[in-house]
Structure 1
Amino acid sequence: MTAPVLRIETLDLSVGSFEWDFARKRRAEIDAHFEAARRSKPGLWNGRILLMHSHEIESACLWGSYFETDFASFMAWRDFGFVDPGINNCFALGALQGSDGGYVMGVMGGGTANAGKVYFPGGTPDLNDVVGRRVDLESSVRREVQEETGLAPDQFDIDPGWHCVPAGPLIALLKPMRARETAEQLRDRIRAHLALEADPELADVYIARGEADIHPMMPGFIQTFLRSAGR
């Protein structure tokens, strides 16, 4: 069954202590897996990220509790087949849309953990997104969009809510961001920004206007979003 696209108006997200048995009990496997990945992608960094261990969606509000872990454990959890069903990767992406309706996405660079994948800028939250004990995905997505594309948030009309696509262990939160320029103009500006970077996270830019433009390298939640947006 295709995952629904839910409208979320409010986020209530916190971070606290949580002992993740997977990361503790399978430490040797996790470390070996990450070192093997780094041999082909030396730029991978085992930084600290946030995953979610409990959540609830009710009355257009997403409540959730995050915990801190390392990127190596996250990568192994993902690559081993999301082996702990009680854990979710709840992340925010900027759903960039041109004034002509076209959606603008990035093609992930070869040195990243998601090389070749096509989706909106953003990603798994980290410690930079924590304010007190709260997780601020609103600020996170604005920062990530600017870092990856060079486009400043004030160049968009930004919706206060979110489109949420729950897809098994993944919970994608898409922030509607509509530009005053066409999708092609945004693409050209992003490509110009990437050309100036020594090691850009994105390899290229892809435009999709609906279901007909679904790319095989798009994750399922992006495909679901595009199908819903065309209705």
Structure 2
Amino acid sequence: MRRELAITRVARVEAVSRPFAWRWAEENRAAIMENWRRRVAATPKMFNGRVLLVSDIAVTPDLCRNTYFETDYANLVAWIDMGHPDPGVANGFAMAALRGSDGAYICGVMSHDTANGGRVYFPAGTPDRSDLRDGGRVDLATSLTRELREETGLTEADYTLSDEWIVVERWPAVALMRHATLHIPAAEGAERIRAAIAAQEHPELSDVRIVRRAEDIDPKTMPLFLQSFFRWSFSTSGPQR
């Protein structure tokens, strides 16, 4: 399942959640809880709910098929903090590649009271139980628009959402993206989002960044999968649509 880097345009995404015994989490329970206590001491607003991680993925131009499993958020955080010691799972999340009508991208800057404070990427969140539907289906399309609305205040009336998905596999992250193109230029969209952030009681974002070209990529704050997406998007091999 593991690929160092692959970016694929796909027509559809299907995802289901199935029972799965995550041996790494079971065998490292004490270290996981100690890591969680350390994290909560630094960021008290963190909550140990249930999230969904990927146990299997298959990608073709016609379809990306993901199999998820439920686990504690503390397990996910420890797995990340410890350097992703189990290569058999991935953090697979839906993400709106938000851009203005002028083609420039808009990323959020995570608030410092979140688990990823200071990191810069598109609005997104690891799927959780609220994304589960009948038969164990994982509703990634709704997860994408919900996270975008919660973090930026933008609704589906504010942008056009591409039918096509772009699957960015940059292990151990799998970003399932769809372009969300605003009806206004990026600079105007950024100001609108900043106003929404200022009005929120507990904003997940502290600011936004506009990315117009490859030179705007910031390796210090942007995760590797996003750096790869931008390089692909700004190259001739990954034309914007």
TM-score by length of 1: 0.97
Q: What are structure 1's unaligned runs of at least 5 residues? A: none
Structure 2 equivalent of residue 62 of structure 1: 64
SS of aligned partner of 2:6:
coil
Which one of the candidate residues 201, 222, 225 is aligned to 2:226? 222
Distance in 2 between residues matched to 1:55 and 1:142, nearest whole Å: 22
**Aligned CA-pair RMSD:** 1.3
Does the aligned pair in 1 maintain the 2:4–2:171 contact within 8 Å?
A: no
CA distance in 1, matches of 2:61, 2:194: 40
Displacement of 1:60 in angstroms is 3.1
The one-letter code sitting in structure 1 at the alignment partner of 2:138 is V
Residue 134, structure 1, aligned to residue 137, structure 2: yes
Q: What aligned pairs does 1:1-231 form with structure 2 within 5 A after superposition?
A: 3-132=5-134, 133-215=136-218, 216-231=220-235
SS at match of 2:175: strand
- Give 1:2 shift: 7.4
Q: Is the 8 A contact 1:97 1:183 kept in 2?
A: yes
Q: 1:139 to 1:21 in 2, by over 3 A?
A: same
2-structure distance, mates of 1:55, 1:101: 30
CA distance in 1, matches of 2:205, 2:8: 28
Matching residue's letter, 1:223: Q
Q: Which runs of 5 or more residues in structure 2 are unaligned?
A: 236-241
Cα separation, 2, equivalents of 1:8 and 1:127: 25
**Identity %, equivalent residues:** 39
Question: How many residue pairs end up in the alignment?
Answer: 231
Q: Secondary structure at the match of 2:78?
A: helix
Asked if the contact 1:2/1:224 (under 8 Å) is kept, the reply is no
Q: CA deviation at 1:219?
A: 0.7
Amino acid at match of 2:210: I
Aligned equivalents of 2:57, 2:4: Cα separation in 1: 20
Which of 216-225 and 142-151 deviates more? 216-225
Q: Tell me if structure 1 keeps the 8 A contact 2:9–2:61.
A: no
Deviation, 1:139, is 0.7
For the Cα contact (< 8 Å) 1:119–1:218, is it kept in 2? Answer: yes
Give, as a single letter, the amino acid of the residue that structure 2 aligns with 1:82.
Answer: H
* CA–CA distance in structure 1, aligned partners of residues 60 and 166 of structure 2: 14
Residue deviations 1:76-98, cap 9 Å, x none?
11111111111011111111110
Contact 2:95 2:178 in 1 (8 A): yes
SS, match of residue 209 in structure 2 = strand
